[in-house]
Amino acid sequence: MGAPTRTTCPYCGVGCGVSALPDGKGGAAIIGDKAHPANKGKLCSKGSALGETLSLDDRLLRPQVCGQDSGWDEALQLVADKFRTTAAEYGPDAVAFYVSGQLLTEDYYVANKLMKGYIGSGNIDTNSRLCMASSVAGHRRAFGTDTVPGLYDDIELADTVVLVGSNLAWCHPVLYQRLAAAKSARPEMRVVTVDPRRTATSDLSDLHLALRPGSDVALFNALLTRIVDEDALDHAFLGAHVEGFVAALAAARADDPEATGLSAEEIDAFCRLWMRREKVVTIYSQGVNQSSQGSDKVNAILNCHLATGRIGKPGMGPFSVTGQPNAMGGREVGGLANMLACHLDIENATHRTAVHEFWDSPVIADKPGLKAVDMFKAVGEGRIKALWIIHTNPAVSMPDADAVRDAIASCDFVVVSDVTGRTDTARLAHVLLPATAWGEKDGTVTNSERCISRQRAFLPAPGEARADWDILAEVARRMGHVAAFDYANPAEIFREYAALSGVAGKFGRDFDISALADCSDADYDALEPFHWPRSGTRSGGRFFGDGRFFTSDGRGRMLAVSTQAPVARPSADWPLVLNTGRLRDQWHTMTRSAKSPRLNAHMAEPYLEIHPVDAALAGLSPASLARVESPVGAAILRVLVSDKVQQGQVFAPMHWTGETASAGRIDALVPAVTDPVSGQPESKAATCRVTAFAAGAYGFALSLEEPVPDAPYWAKARARGGWRCELAWETAPQDWTEAARALFGLSPDAEPLVVADPARGLHRLAFLQDGRLAAALFVARDPVAVSRQHLIGLLGAEDALGVLAGQPGADRPDPGATICACFDVGVNTIRAAISAQNLTSVEAIGQALRAGTNCGSCKPELKALLEAAAPRLAAE
Ligand SMILES: Nc1nc2c(c(=O)[nH]1)N[C@H]1C(S)=C(S)[C@@H](COP(=O)(O)OP(=O)(O)OC[C@H]3O[C@@H](n4cnc5c(=O)[nH]c(N)nc54)[C@H](O)[C@@H]3O)O[C@H]1N2
Ligand SMILES: Nc1nc2c(c(=O)[nH]1)N[C@H]1C(S)=C(S)[C@@H](COP(=O)(O)OP(=O)(O)OC[C@H]3O[C@@H](n4cnc5c(=O)[nH]c(N)nc54)[C@H](O)[C@@H]3O)O[C@H]1N2
Ligand code: SF4
Ligand SMILES: [Mo]
C-alpha cells in the first residue's frame, strides 16, 4: 500500500475531492478530501461507494471488431480509414462524434480539435445537449458568455435559497448538505423548492411550490412584475449595466400567473421571500433545462436577478448546477456543436481565424454542426455514415430511444469507446474500443462553480485499455495529422489548451487560464483545485457583480419571455404527464453505480410513482406492475403509489436499460421534442397512459451467478454475494423447476428443494450446491412478499434450509430495503428503533444505529421516517 492519491469524484457536478488508497488487490479505500473546496471532506452515498465499482467484471479489456477480439493496430486503422474515406467521399458532415460531459477536458479537447480543425465539420455534440444546453443558451443570451456567476459559498451566505427543478438532495448531495448545515446554523435562512412533485429536497424547504409542469416562466414573470410594482429594482445597476428591461417587463405583465396552477397566496409568499431579503440564490437544474422552453425558463430567472442587481455578489445570484463531473469543462473546451473552444464562437469569423491559426490546421468548421437530436436523425436517415460515440449511452439516454437505437443499428460504421461492452449502445458497435476508467486515467474536470480539479490515476490500466485522449490522438495521427496530435501525456494537451485560452482572453473572453500555459508536467501533476479564470491579470472570484458583461456593448440583457405550454399536452388518449429523473444511489445508465450491491439496495427496480387516484382509476394496486405507453414507446414498471406526485402526473427514473430490465428504458417513451433555441430535449413532460400489466405470476429470484431471465417483465441487480431479480409472467410457466433451471443456467440434474401450493399459485424452489444456497426462486400470484434483504443474506450460506420460509425467524429481524447505504441500515431496522427507543431526531437515529452519520445522503429519508412515525408516537 502506498500513499493515498488525491483525485475528483467521477459522478456529479459538485466535483468533490476524493482521497483513494489502493488496497493492492485492484480496489481502493475511498474517503473525502478535506482540502478540496467543494466538499471539505464530505462524500455522498455514491462517492463513498466508489471503491465497490472498481472491479474488472464487465470491463471491456481489448478492442473488438464486429464482435471479435482484435488488436489495437487493426481496430484503430479501421477507424481512421473509415472516417477519412467517408469524409472524403461524402464530405466532412457525413461523419460525427457524439461525446460526453464525463470526458476529461484533455479528452474533450482532442476530440473537438480533430473534428472541427482536421475533419472540418461541426458535427461533434455531446450528451450535455440533453443536460446543460438551455443554461448555456440562457447564459449566452443574458451575459454574452456561458458563465456561472457565483460560487458554492454563496449558497451558505444567502438568506433565501430557491431551488427550481432541482432535486439537490439526491443529485448534488454534498451541496445539499452544505445548504442544510447552513440552514440549521442560521434558522432564519429560508429555502423554497419549485417542483411539480415533492422530493427529498422539498422536505428541507419552508415553501414548496408544486407548480404545473412547464410553467416556470409564468412564475418568474410574476416575480418580475412584483419586483417592479414594489420597486425592489436596483435602479443604478439596471441603468448602467442592463438592456432590455422595458420589453422584458411588458412580456412579464402580459403573462398569466394562473398558468402555474399555484394560488395567489403561494405566489405572494414566494415573491416576498425573494424580494424582501437581499441575499437570494436561485439554483436551477433539469426541471428548468429539460423543457421545450428551457432557454426561456433560464432567462426568466436571470431577468429577476439582473433587475435587482443580485448577481455575482456574496450570497446572491442565479446558479445553474451542472450535472456531470465535466459538463462545465466540456462547455469551456467547445464540446457543443455550436461552440468553438475557450468560449469562442464558431459563427464569428475572427474567432474562427484565430483558432485556425493557433491550431495551424488544414481546415476549420465554419458553421455549427448537428445538435444531438438532429444528429441521430441524420444517422437514421443515412446522412451521417460514420459515427463515433464516446463515454455515453445514447441508445438509453436520448429521447425517442427506440428510434435512436434503430438509427445506430442502421448506420454504416459505428465506433463506441466505453469501459464496458455491456451497454445497449456498445452492443450496436462495429468497433468497440476499451477505455481506461476512473482511477486509471489522468486529466482535469471543471465543476459547477468553475473549479478546475485533477482526476488522477491510482490503479494501472487493465488489459489493453487506453485513455480516451490517447485513442483519439492515435486515430488522428493515422488519419494523417501526425504533428498536431503528437501528445505524450495529458499535461501536454492541457498546456496547449491553456495557451489557446490566452488567445480567447485577448478577444476579451472570460475563459482564460493562460497563466498555466507553461506549467511543467510536475506542476500539472501537483495542480491544486482552482477557480478560473487564471490569467496574468485575473484569478478566480465571481463574475458580473461589477456590471461588466461579455456582450458586444458590455451590458447584460433582460429578455422578453412568455409562457408556452409544453408541446405534448394530455388528451383523452394520453391523459398523464410523464416526468423523469434521478434516484439517490444510481448514476445514469447504471454501468458503474450498479456494480455496488449497497447502492442497488436503495431501489432495485424501475418504477412508476403514481397518485392514489390515478392508480385507482387504472386499477393498479401498490407493488403491482404497470404497462406505460406513450405515442412513441412503452415500458413495464413497478407501481409506487404516492401522493408526492400530483394527480395527472407520473414520475419514473431514467436509469434502467436493456441490460438491467426487460422494459425499463424510460426514454423509449419520451418524444424527441426540443427547445428551439438550445436544442435540448424536453425530458420531463411526455404524455402517456397507464394500464395494469396482467401478471399471472410474480417472481423473486436470487442467485450466486448472474441470472438469465426470459419473462415479459424482469429487472436484475447485483446484490451482496450474488444477484437478485424481480420477474413477472402473463401466463405462469408449466414447469417451475425447468423455468428456474433456465433462469439460473443450471444443468438438468440440478434438483431443487421445493415447497409448493399450486392451488394458490405458490412455488418456492431452492438450489443447493456443495451444501450451500446457490439460487432460489419465489413465485406467487400477487407481488411476492418475502424478506428480500434477509434472503440475500443467505446466499452462499450453509445453514440455508430455512430459506424457503422466505422470512427470517423471530431471532433474525428483517432489515428491509436499505436506507443508509454507508452502514447498510434497512428501513425496518430504523422504524423499529424509532418506535422502541422513541427516537425523535435524525441525530438520535444516528446515535442509535449510525445511519446517516457518514455521508448523510439518507438524512432526508430518515426525516421522512420520523415524520411518518410521529403521529403514532403521539398517540401512544
Ligand atoms: N444520484 C444521481 N445524481 C446525479 C445524477 C444521477 O444520475 N444520479 N446525474 C447528474 C446529472 S448529469 C444531472 S444533469 C443532475 C440533474 O439533477 P436534477 O435536475 O436535480 O435532477 P432530475 O431528477 O433530473 O430533475 C430535477 C427535478 O425537476 C423536476 N421537474 C420536472 N418538471 C419540472 C418543471 O416543469 N418545473 C420545475 N420547476 N421542475 C420540474 C422533477 O420533478 C425533478 O424533481 O444530477 C446529477 N447528479
Ligand atoms: N428521460 C430522461 N432522459 C435523460 C435525462 C433525464 O433526466 N430524463 N437526463 C439526461 C442527462 S442530463 C444526461 S447527462 C444523460 C446521461 O446519459 P448517458 O451519458 O448516456 O449516461 P451514462 O450512463 O453516464 O453513460 C456513460 C457511458 O460511458 C461509459 N464510461 C464510463 N467511464 C468511461 C471512460 O472513462 N471512458 C469512456 N469512453 N467511457 C466511459 C459508461 O460505461 C457508460 O456507458 O441522460 C439524459 N437523458
Ligand atoms: S456529491 Fe456525491 S456524486 Fe457528487 S461529486 Fe460529491 S461525492 Fe461525487
Ligand atoms: Mo446531465
Pocket residue to mutate for ligand 2, from 392, 470, 673, most atoms within 8 A of Cβ? 392
The full DSSP string for 707-770 is P---SSEEEEEEETTEEEEEEEESS--S-HHHHHHHHHT--TT---EEEEEGGGTEEEEEEEET
Q: Which residue stretches of 308-446 are H helix? A: 327-333, 349-359, 372-380, 394-397, 401-410
Pocket residue to mutate for ligand 1, from 285, 590, 646, most atoms within 8 A of Cβ? 285
Rounded-to-integer distance, Cα 756 and Cα 766, Å: 12
pLDDT of residue 100: 98
Q: If pLDDT is split at 50, 70 and 90, which confidence band does 536 have?
A: confident
Ligand 1 pocket residue status of 165, Cβ below 6 Å:
yes
775-810 pLDDT tens trace: 999 999 999 999 999 999 999 998 777 888 888 876
Mean pLDDT across 328-344: 90
Most confident of the ranges 88-97, 505-514, 838-847 = 88-97
Ligand 3 pocket residue status of 394, Cβ below 6 Å:
no
Rounded-to-integer distance, Cα 368 and Cα 388, Å: 18
Contacts of 7 (CB under 8 A, 6+ apart): 17, 18, 19, 20, 439, 454, 455, 456, 458
Amino acid at site 735: D
Mean pLDDT across 199-211: 96
* Closest-CA residue to 796 (of 705, 734, 673): 705
Strands 190-194 and 5-8: unpaired
Mean pLDDT across 433-450: 98
Contacts of 92 (CB under 8 A, 6+ apart): 119, 120, 121, 123, 363, 365
Ligand 2 pocket residue status of 323, Cβ below 6 Å:
yes
Rounded-to-integer distance, Cα 156 and Cα 179, Å: 6
Rounded-to-integer distance, Cα 229 and Cα 447, Å: 37
Please tell me which residue, 716 or 601, carries the higher pLDDT value: 716
- Backbone CA torsion sign across 693, 698, 700, 706: negative
- 812: cell is 433474525
- 832: cell is 423499529
Ligand 3 pocket residue status of 173, Cβ below 6 Å:
yes
Beta bridge partners of 20: 5, 30
What percent of the chain is helix, strand and coil (3-state, nearest 5)?
35, 20, 45
Strand order through the sheet with 17-22: 5-8, 17-22, 28-32
pLDDT of residue 717: 97
Mean pLDDT across 828-846: 91
C-alpha to C-alpha distances, 720 to 263, 704, 741, nearest whole angstrom: 48, 9, 22
Length of the chain: 876
Q: Is 265 helix (H, G, I), strand (E, B) or coil?
A: helix
Mean pLDDT across 717-728: 97
Mean pLDDT across 303-314: 98
Determine contact, residues 353/478, Cβ cutoff 8 Å: no
Rounded-to-integer distance, Cα 807 and Cα 819, Å: 20
pLDDT at 106 over 70: yes
Rounded-to-integer distance, Cα 574 and Cα 631, Å: 8
Ligand 2 pocket residue status of 131, Cβ below 6 Å:
yes
Contacts of 73 (CB under 8 A, 6+ apart): none
- Backbone CA torsion sign across 588, 152, 99, 17: negative
Which helix (H) or strand (E) element contains residue 248? helix 245-254
Nearest CA to ligand 2 atom 17: 397
pLDDT at 413 over 70: yes
Beta bridge partners of 29: 21
Pocket residue to mutate for ligand 1, from 171, 197, 579, most atoms within 8 A of Cβ? 171
pLDDT at 211 over 60: yes
Q: Is 363 helix (H, G, I), strand (E, B) or coil?
A: coil
Beta bridge partners of 99: 126
pLDDT of residue 856: 84
Ligand 1 pocket residue status of 195, Cβ below 6 Å:
yes
Ligand 1 pocket residue status of 42, Cβ below 6 Å:
no
* Closest-CA residue to 448 (of 131, 728, 218): 131
23-76 pLDDT tens trace: 999 899 999 999 999 999 999 999 999 999 999 999 999 999 999 999 999 999
Ligand 2 pocket residue status of 654, Cβ below 6 Å:
yes
pLDDT of residue 875: 37
Amino acid at site 502: G
Strands 576-581 and 280-284: unpaired
Q: How far is the CA of 391 from the centre of ligand 2 (A)?
A: 7
Determine contact, residues 450/326, Cβ cutoff 8 Å: no
Task: Show the 3-state SS of 49-98.
Answer: CHHHHCCCCCECCCCEECCEECCHHHHHHHHHHHHHHHHHHHCHHHEEEE
Contacts of 483 (CB under 8 A, 6+ apart): none
The full DSSP string for 117-133 is III----EEEGGGGTTH
Ligand 1 pocket residue status of 287, Cβ below 6 Å:
yes
Which helix (H) or strand (E) element contains residue 628? strand 625-629
pLDDT of residue 817: 83
Nearest CA to ligand 3 atom 4: 12
Q: How far is the CA of 260 from the centre of ligand 3 (A)?
A: 32
Ligand 1 pocket residue status of 324, Cβ below 6 Å:
yes
pLDDT at 110 over 90: yes
Nearest CA to ligand 3 atom 2: 44
pLDDT at 874 over 70: no
Ligand 1 pocket residue status of 131, Cβ below 6 Å:
yes
Q: What is the pTM of this model?
A: 0.96
Q: Which residue, chain included where needed, has cell 410513482?
A: 609
pLDDT of residue 811: 67
Nearest CA to ligand 1 atom 18: 166
Determine contact, residues 191/206, Cβ cutoff 8 Å: yes
Mean pLDDT across 103-131: 97
C-alpha to C-alpha distances, 245 to 252, 295, 866, nearest whole angstrom: 10, 18, 47
* Closest-CA residue to 435 (of 417, 414, 421): 417
Nearest CA to ligand 1 atom 16: 323
pLDDT of residue 178: 97
Counting residues of the chain whose pLDDT is more than 70, the rounded percentage is: 99
Ligand 3 pocket residue status of 32, Cβ below 6 Å:
no
pLDDT of residue 337: 87
Please tell me which residue, 860 or 375, carries the higher pLDDT value: 375
Ligand 3 pocket residue status of 11, Cβ below 6 Å:
yes
Between helices 294-307 and 216-229, what is the axis angle to 10°? 20
Beta bridge partners of 431: 65, 415
Q: If pLDDT is split at 50, 70 and 90, which confidence band does 873 have?
A: very low
Cα 501 versus chain centre, distance = 28
Strand order through the sheet with 443-446: 443-446, 451-455, 530-531
* Closest-CA residue to 585 (of 19, 180, 128, 200): 200
Residues 81-106, buried b or exposed e (16+ Cβ, 10 A)?
ebbbebbeeeebbbbbbbbbbbbbbb
Decide: residue 187, CB within 10 A, 0-12 exposed, 13-18 middle, 19+ buried: exposed
Q: If pLDDT is split at 50, 70 and 90, which confidence band does 813 have?
A: confident
Could you count the other beta carbons within 10 Å of the beta carbon of residue 449?
26
Counting residues of the chain whose pLDDT is more than 90, the rounded percentage is: 89
* Closest-CA residue to 369 (of 389, 333, 339): 339
Contacts of 618 (CB under 8 A, 6+ apart): 610, 626, 690, 691, 692
pLDDT of residue 589: 98
The helix/strand count (H/E) of the chain reads as 28, 34
Q: How far is the CA of 285 from the centre of ligand 1 (A)?
A: 6
Rounded mean pLDDT of the chain?
A: 95
Rounded-to-integer distance, Cα 374 and Cα 675, Å: 12
Amino acid at site 814: D
Rounded (5°) CA angle 491-494-500: 150
- For residue 423, the ligand 2 atom closest to its alpha carbon is 44
